[in-house]
Amino acid sequence: MTDEKKFQKSPENSVFTDKCLHMEDITVRKQGYAIFMAFILIFALTGCGNKSLLSAKEPVELTMWHVYGEQAGSPMDTLVEEFNRTEGKEKGVRVKVTELSSAAKIGGFLLETQGDSAQEMPDLFTCHIGDAIALGEDNLLDWNDWFTEQEQSEFVSGFLADGKADDGKLLVFPLSKSTQLLMFNGTGFARFSAATGVSYDDLSTWEGFYDAAGKFYDWTNGTEPFCAMDYPIRAVELNALEHGAEDFYTEDGWYDFDNAVFKESWMQFARALAQGHIVVSDLYSNTQVMTGEVLSGLGSSAAILYYNDTVTYEDGRSEPMDLQVVPMPMTAGAEPLMTQAGVGLCAYKTTEQKAEAASLFAHWLTEKQRNLDFVTSTGYMPVRNGAFDSIDEVEFADQGYANLYAALKTMQETYTPLAEVRFTDYYSKVHTLYDGLRQMQQELPRRAAAGEDVEALAEETWALFRSIR
């Protein structure tokens, strides 16, 4: 029986006077109004009926590992400090950064820590989707539970997709995305250009890039490679795809060595490597550029965090870096492709209170303007729709950053991004390949200079590649 029917007149209560009935009706309405207002208050305080587990009086602490700057004054550390002073302090959440390292190292640390009962996993960490899946989907927060469909629609869909497991769980929330491009010692390139006529425009294609690499090597009398490449397999893949190669992955997550187009793309790279025109970087090419070992580095846009303003040569000479940046080379006449990489934010699943705290931090961190400010200080691309439209309004304090984002905007407008692979054990195999190439590049140029056939030397690198299983 409804309240309305309950308090209607009936034969049974006809003995009551009209006055009594009127007074009872007023009392009931007051009670109903009081109950209604109490419900509204509770709803407002708890949000959708769920009471917050956070309290400013008893703040919860979240530990965090991240990759954004292994140096004092890291842009992410600055943001964490701001959050702790503002939103975190108000709501009762404090984030404490306990580890800064590379994505590859953090991925390894996470697996080691998870397997050691004596160590505690960080509450928040940045990693790739492959590392997240390896940790176990059930051990991680599903951001789908904390970001509504409407909220997710404001992010670049491809970036969100990169962080999803096969079953649709959003394990890695995008904070930023990087891509590969070329960064130059501009002062050194100016001398080379004046002597040879090679311009930055000549580097727009892979053919032009490798040709310029040979000319630079000859110009230095065989003493200096043109470029150090951080992730050469990515360049090989893009070149092959732009030449029309179809799927060159096998079912077990490695390469189909019978794919002729893919092999030719590799051989183009390998010929340059064998002759000393290019090298596989020691780890990150920026170090070799800053010490004058090479003229340029092909690597992540985020490497700008680690570039100095000066180049300091082995003999003690130094000169301004004058950092110049150009887009990733492409295949002439083909639709250009670009890499799409970058870690995102994961939360290790422990308590509901920490889950709510992680969500609060993730929402705050990815607010549109805050995300734009963050990425433009780190060399990454923004993750929200339409954010690139605001790049032109950013006033960069450093000309190198301005050059970087000019190149990134060109690529964003004309290149098609491709996500990295997520095969199990893929990256360990790739690192084995790079280690082998670093060993080979110490002797191959000497053998080429002594008259050995360059094609045969390049085939030796292909044999190394094929040997990795």
The angle at the Cα of 64, spanning 62 to 287, to the nearest 5 degrees, equals: 165
Within 8 A by CB and 6+ apart from 40, the residues are none
- Return left, alpha or beta for 104; rule: phi > 0 is left, psi -120 to 50 is alpha, else beta: alpha
Residue 194 buriedness (CB in 10 A; 0-12 / 13-18 / 19+): exposed
pLDDT (tens digit per residue) in 374-413: 998 888 999 998 887 888 888 898 999 999 999 999 998 8
Residue that is written with structure tokens 């032009």 in the block: 208
CA separation for the pair 348, 105 (Å, rounded)? 18
Q: What's 200's DSSP letter?
A: G
Please give the pLDDT value at position 417. 87
Least confident of 221-225, 243-247, 331-335, 417-421: 417-421
What CATH code is assigned to 60-177+342-393? Answer: 3.40.190.10
353 to 94, 266, 357: CA distances (angstroms): 12, 51, 6
Per-residue confidence band for 50, with pLDDT thresholds at 50, 70 and 90: low
What sign has the CA pseudo-torsion 246, 247, 249, 251? negative
pLDDT (tens digit per residue) in 167-187: 999 999 999 999 999 999 999
Within 8 A by CB and 6+ apart from 55, the residues are 92
Residue that is written with structure tokens 């183009």 in the block: 268
Please give the pLDDT value at position 430. 95
Residue 90's closest CA among 52, 124, 47, 123? Answer: 52
Integer-rounded Cα Rg, in Å, for the chain is 29
Q: Where are the alpha helices (DSSP H) in 366-469?
A: 368-375, 399-414, 426-440, 444-449, 454-467
Residue that is written with structure tokens 């140096």 in the block: 71
Please give the pLDDT value at position 424. 76
Determine the 3-state secondary structure of 255 from DSSP.
Answer: strand
Determine the 3-state secondary structure of 55 from DSSP.
Answer: coil
Within 8 A by CB and 6+ apart from 124, the residues are 62, 63, 64, 65, 66, 95, 345, 346, 347, 348, 358, 361
CA separation for the pair 194, 227 (Å, rounded)? 18
Residue 468 has pLDDT above 90, yes or no: yes
Per-domain residue ranges of the chain: 60-177+342-393, 180-340+407-467
CA separation for the pair 111, 198 (Å, rounded)? 47
Angle subtended by helix axes 75-85 and 368-375, to nearest 10: 150
Is the CB of residue 289 less than 8 Å from the CB of residue 307? yes
CA separation for the pair 251, 261 (Å, rounded)? 19
Mean pLDDT of the 239-258 span: 94
Residue 240's closest CA among 338, 329, 331, 339? Answer: 331
Within 8 A by CB and 6+ apart from 424, the residues are 130, 134, 253
Q: What are phi and psi of 118, to 5 degrees?
A: -80, -15
pLDDT (tens digit per residue) in 92-135: 999 999 988 877 778 888 888 888 866 789 999 999 898 899 89
CA separation for the pair 334, 287 (Å, rounded)? 32
Residue 10 has pLDDT above 60, yes or no: no
Is the CB of residue 384 less than 8 Å from the CB of residue 366? yes
pTM beyond 0.85: no
Residue 338 has pLDDT above 70, yes or no: yes
CA separation for the pair 159, 82 (Å, rounded)? 26
Per-residue confidence band for 243, with pLDDT thresholds at 50, 70 and 90: very high
Cα–chain center distance at 241: 22
Within 8 A by CB and 6+ apart from 229, the residues are 235, 278, 279, 280, 281, 285, 297, 298, 299
Is the CB of residue 276 less than 8 Å from the CB of residue 445? yes
Q: Where are the alpha helices (DSSP H) in 47-114?
A: 75-85, 87-91, 103-114
Which comes out higher in pLDDT, residue 352 or 117? 352
Q: What's 322's DSSP letter?
A: -
Please give the pLDDT value at position 75. 87
Do the domains at 60-177+342-393 and 180-340+407-467 have one common CATH topology? yes
Give the right CATH number for 180-340+407-467 from 3.40.190.10, 3.40.50.10860, 3.40.1010.10, 3.90.420.10: 3.40.190.10
